């Protein structure tokens, strides 16, 4: 299923969503122009579960770097499809959640969902040395909030039907419910296969649940 847009039209400018998309794109192009320095950049700013929980060589600067990596990793992407997919979902679903939360509260919500997603991924992959990067935990939180706030909203979606593709209106609760189920099952499979986790499925799961829960405390009342 490929979402094209939703049918909730709001008369407001999603300034934080736009700003987040621009920041992510800026960091991505910075990655491209780093050349051979990209590996060092990722080593410095990505989140590595095994390193994050390690107590070896603990100093104040090491602790600060580990905490910072929970945030800095959220703005790094591994390739064109990674960033395009994330930013496309953020553009479709972010504006409505931003409207319901308010601009500054939405920014805090976005970052907090990313941190929650990262911590859930670390918890489920304690021995992993694979760097965790990407805004997927943040955006999963946005999807979780959207799922709770607008379950009956229509998502214009490209659907596979036999050998054809069709465009149809899909209720948000169905689209996002299927999306979450795929993330959960993929996360479960990543735990039982011997090759380890390559995609941060549990960051998606944790972010989604975090967003669904946090929206209860953070949604602004609107008349």
- The domains of the chain are located at 2-213
Mean pLDDT value across residues 60-74: 92
Distance CA 25, CA 84 (A): 9
Give me the count of residues in the chain.
223
Strand-strand pairing, 164-171 and 154-161: antiparallel
Give residue-wise pLDDT tens across range 166-180: 899 999 999 999 999
State whether residue 11 is helix, strand or coil: coil
CATH architecture of 2-213: Up-down Bundle (1.20)
CA distances to 16, 43, 47, 69, 207 from 65, rounded to whole Å, are 26, 11, 10, 6, 22
- Split at pLDDT 50, 70, 90, the class of 202 is very high
Q: By CB neighbour count within 10 A (0-12 exposed, 13-18 middle, 19+ buried), where does 130 fall?
A: middle
Give residue-wise pLDDT tens across range 131-147: 999 999 999 999 999 99
Contact 117, 44 (CB under 8 A): no
pLDDT of 11 above 70: yes
């Amino acid at each position: 299923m490929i979402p094209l847009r939703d049918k909730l039209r709001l008369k407001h400018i999603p300034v934080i969503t736009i700003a987040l998309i621009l920041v992510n794109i800026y960091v991505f192009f910075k990655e491209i122009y780093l050349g051979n320095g990209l590996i060092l950049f990722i080593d410095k700013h990505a989140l590595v579960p095994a390193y994050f929980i390690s107590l070896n060589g603990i100093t104040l600067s090491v602790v600060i770097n580990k905490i910072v990596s929970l945030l800095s990793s959220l703005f790094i992407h591994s390739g064109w499809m990674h960033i395009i997919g994330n930013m496309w979902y953020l553009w479709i679903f972010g504006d409505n959640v931003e409207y319901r939360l308010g601009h500054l509260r939405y920014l805090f919500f976005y970052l907090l969902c990313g941190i929650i997603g990262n911590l859930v991924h670390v918890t489920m992959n304690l021995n992993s040395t694979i760097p965790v990067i990407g805004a997927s935990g943040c955006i999963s939180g946005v999807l979780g909030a959207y799922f709770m706030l607008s379950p009956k909203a229509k998502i214009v979606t490209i659907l596979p039907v036999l050998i054809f593709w069709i465009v149809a209106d899909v209720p948000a609760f169905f689209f996002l419910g299927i999306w979450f189920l795929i993330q959960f099952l993929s996360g479960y499979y990543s735990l039982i296969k011997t090759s380890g986790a390559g995609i941060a499925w549990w960051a998606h799961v944790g972010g989604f649940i975090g967003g669904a829960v946090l929206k209860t405390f953070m949604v602004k009342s609107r008349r």
